[in-house]
Amino acid sequence: MNTGSPKRLPLLAATLVAMTMSVTPAQASTTEDPLEGFNRVIFSFNETLDRYIAKPVAKAYQAVTPKPVDSAITRFFNNLTSPVTLVNQLLQGKPADAAATTARLLWNSTVGLGGLFDVAAKMGVPAKKEDFGQTLGVWGVQSGPYLMLPIFGPSTVRDAVGRVVDQAPNPRNYVNRDAALGATALDMVDTRADLLALEKIIEGDRYLFIRDAYLQQRASAIVDGRVERDEFLDDDEPDDAGVPADATGTGTSAE
């Protein structure tokens, strides 16, 4: 799953990020987290809120909400953030992606009943997510120190600025205030419920695991998941990289 636009609770957005990584992240250097003491205080606050409020509510929601309804609600909120992605794709110079996101928004908002059904995906147009934090990264702006935000969780100085700017194209800011607050609350509960099963992947120091997973995922998102070629490691690879090496490491394929 793509985690371009952070969804939105204490440990939860980072838990989803950690799931995306599929490997235990290495510890970030102290230069990336000079505010660790302060961040751990906020992290503890977020964990307390999650333990006594967010998690119990999410469990109750999951218990009473049929899976098809839960999935439809998730799709609805994903569709609602499409304008944010669209604006940032244009700012990053990705016209093809912007056209695809526009098509997704039109099809899912009409035939898909406001995004309750992802008809665009069935038509071969997958979802992508971009945010202004990524856009700043694409423009060459450094991430700045890691920052743990109250309630919203893992971030960096750059991503925190991006979070504010992304409010401009967010449709929630142009509807009735009570409706916007209700939608935000439901979105957060739905997100928390979807992540209940993923907590078991967190190992060791929860703060370090979540921090490092977040930083790695954000770095990957900025380059759209591309892996840079390592000249020293790649020099020994055979010209036909598609032929797997055998068990002896000779580079010949198995018969």
C-alpha–C-alpha distance, residues 98 and 110, integer Å = 18
Residues lower than pLDDT 50 in the chain: 1-28, 230-233, 235-255
Tell me the per-residue pLDDT of 94-106, one tens digit each, with 9 for 90 and over. Answer: 999 999 999 999 9
Looking at residue 89, its pLDDT comes to: 97
Looking at residue 229, its pLDDT comes to: 55
Looking at residue 30, its pLDDT comes to: 59
Looking at residue 177, its pLDDT comes to: 87
Domain boundaries, the chain: 10-226
Using alpha carbons only, give the angle 89, 87, 173 rounded to the nearest 5 degrees.
145
Token pair 């743990």 in the structure block, residue:
148
C-alpha–C-alpha distance, residues 103 and 151, integer Å = 33
Q: Under a CB-based contact definition with an 8 Å cutoff, are residues 227 and 217 in contact?
A: no
